[in-house]
Chain A
């Protein structure tokens, strides 16, 4: 129903490597949001995607919304230690936000 599923659950990369996390839904999404939670911190909004096939970039981060609006991805190019944290996708529906279980990224210097 309202669930969005995220994979992988964990990702360990060497600094400088790329990273991708995927968010999938069994139903069509009206939008998808991405949040980042640093260790010991709270989730912080990154971006919202609305249109089919939409691609948005924020520096080294690239966000994509699938053509069928059932999946989304976040790609980080050349990771840095500041990218460490858990990345959540969330769907906003009927005034409520439903979060995936997140992908925890660890970056080894």
Chain B
């Protein structure tokens, strides 16, 4: 299977704890994105990487959130001192980032990590 893989699928934690999620993108994709989705809403952009470089982070994103993509392959998203408002589905997606003529830049999503903060 060469799709986007995320783990864990579910994470339940207590308020104040740190959590880390992992994403393995499609291997030939240069760009990797993190999104957050709450019930009834569309995916909200958090941050993205071009290879190992983190090129942009949402201004709405708390300093408690940090993401890495150390070797330009898999990525981790860490949330420190979790709060109940952090409860959401965290989606990872990848895209080619380097298109042939006529190509379409589109997102391939993983199944997400559902975070519940108690």
Task: List A residues at the B interface (Cβ < 8 Å).
Answer: 6, 9, 33, 35, 41-45, 48, 88, 90, 92, 95-102, 104
Task: List B residues at the A interface (Cβ < 8 Å).
Answer: 31, 33, 35, 40-45, 48, 50, 55-56, 91, 93, 97, 104-112
Contact B104–A44 (Cβ < 8 Å): no
Contact A42–B45 (Cβ < 8 Å): no
Given A42-B91, A42-B112, are A97 and B40 neighbors across the interface (CB < 8 Å)? no
* Identity of the chain A residue whose Cβ is nearest the Cβ of B104 in the assembled complex: A48
Contact partner of B50 (CB less than 8 A), chosen from A6, A44, A95, A97, is A95
| CB<8 Å pairs between A and B, sample of 24 | A9-B40, A35-B107, A42-B91, A42-B109, A42-B110, A43-B43, A43-B107, A45-B106, A48-B104, A48-B106, A90-B42, A90-B107, A95-B50, A95-B55, A95-B56, A95-B97, A97-B33, A97-B93, A98-B45, A99-B42, A99-B43, A100-B42, A101-B42, A102-B42
* Identity of the chain B residue whose Cβ is nearest the Cβ of A92 in the assembled complex: B105
* Shortest Cβ gap from B34 to chain A (Å): 11
A88 to B55, CA, bound (A): 25
* Identity of the chain A residue whose Cβ is nearest the Cβ of B112 in the assembled complex: A42
A102 to B39, CA, bound (A): 11
A90 to B107, CA, bound (A): 10
Instruction: Specify which chain A residues have a CB less than 8 angstroms from the CB of B31 in the assembled complex.
Output: 95
Instruction: Specify which chain A residues have a CB less than 8 angstroms from the CB of B43 in the assembled complex.
Output: 43, 88, 97, 99
Instruction: Specify which chain A residues have a CB less than 8 angstroms from the CB of B56 in the assembled complex.
Output: 95-96
